[in-house]
Structure 1
């Protein structure tokens, strides 16, 4: 009799487990509503992203032109120095080499500062666009009763891609 008792205990536990699974089946049968958004496309093609790009170009165009002018000046000075090297006295050649080197160092510093400032401002602008996009995504999720919206995925079936809807809402809010 001792050998059958553990068997009855195991059968009872198995029956309870199966019963619990069957009772939970209707709840599990409810399909989760899932959607996906291509945030890269939003940051590239949406009206707010394009407005941010125009704003950055306007903000940094003057400094960019100044850097281009400075680069041309350095190139002109270096070319003139190369041409005149044979006829220059040693002291004059060294002085002009030093001037070109000093100007080039200043150019490198200004160019580095420009890139850092531009990257910082671009990150700030894109963060604002993403924040607005996330608000729109949350609104769509609530309206359409989505359980999950994924922003980055390896593959997205076009059937669940709501990027166009997000962009329409974003673009409408930007006009």
Structure 2
């Protein structure tokens, strides 16, 4: 029992020495933090990827790029609906072989539409990912530029559960991106 008390006394001494050592070790950090405050900001990248003029421009460009394919799909779908309507209307006047032939035509057209729709969707996804990668580079450059201009030491943008409006830089970065987008010849301009 006496040995246990000595062990506890010895452990308390080591803890006290450890505490003092750690406290003395942090003294320079506390002094540094008091004299040179770290400036931290937060940016909501989802807002920038959705509301920036570069994002809107990329979206409009993709829409224009794929408008012909979308129109072709609309026309093919109209053709299929018309053939289906004609089949339903004339079904009683047709022989069974004529009905089968028309049903096959409608089914073939339906498969063609689905195949084209899948192809267009795949191409659209590839192009959207390419544009998103470009836009992410623009956003990162804008965040870096605003951070350097405003003297920030750290800017965070992922995994933030709460942000005070005092350190939220989203609007500043969005404004910066808007200004860059409006400059002729800017490499941020689409």
Q: Is the TM-score greater than 0.5?
A: yes
Between 1:11-20 and 1:105-114, the stretch displaced more is 11-20
Whether 1:162 and 2:169 are equivalent positions in the alignment is yes
- SS of structure 2 residue aligned to 1:63: helix
Q: Deviations 1:100-156 (Å, cap 9, x if unpaired)?
A: 100110000001111111121112112211111101111222232323212233332
Question: SS at 1:173's partner residue?
Answer: helix
Determine which of 126, 134, 138 is the counterpart of 1:120: 126
**For 1:134-173, what aligned pairs fall within 5 Å after superposition?**
134-152=140-158, 153-173=160-180
Where structure 2 has 5 or more consecutive residues not aligned to the other structure, the ranges are 1-5, 183-190
How many equivalent residue pairs? Answer: 174
Residue segments in structure 1 that go unaligned for 5+ positions in a row: none
Query: Where does 1:1-175 land on structure 2 (aligned, <5 Å)?
Result: 6=10, 10=14, 11-29=16-34, 30-152=36-158, 153-175=160-182
Q: 2 CA distance for matches of 1:162 and 1:18?
A: 35
Report 1 or 2 for greater relative contact order, CA contacts < 8 Å, sequence distance ≥ 6: 1
The TM-score with structure 2 as length reference comes to 0.81
Deviations 1:5-28 (A, max 9, x none): 947963544433333233432134
In 2 relative to 1, CA 43–21 (structure 1 residues): closer, same or farther, beyond 3 Å?
A: closer
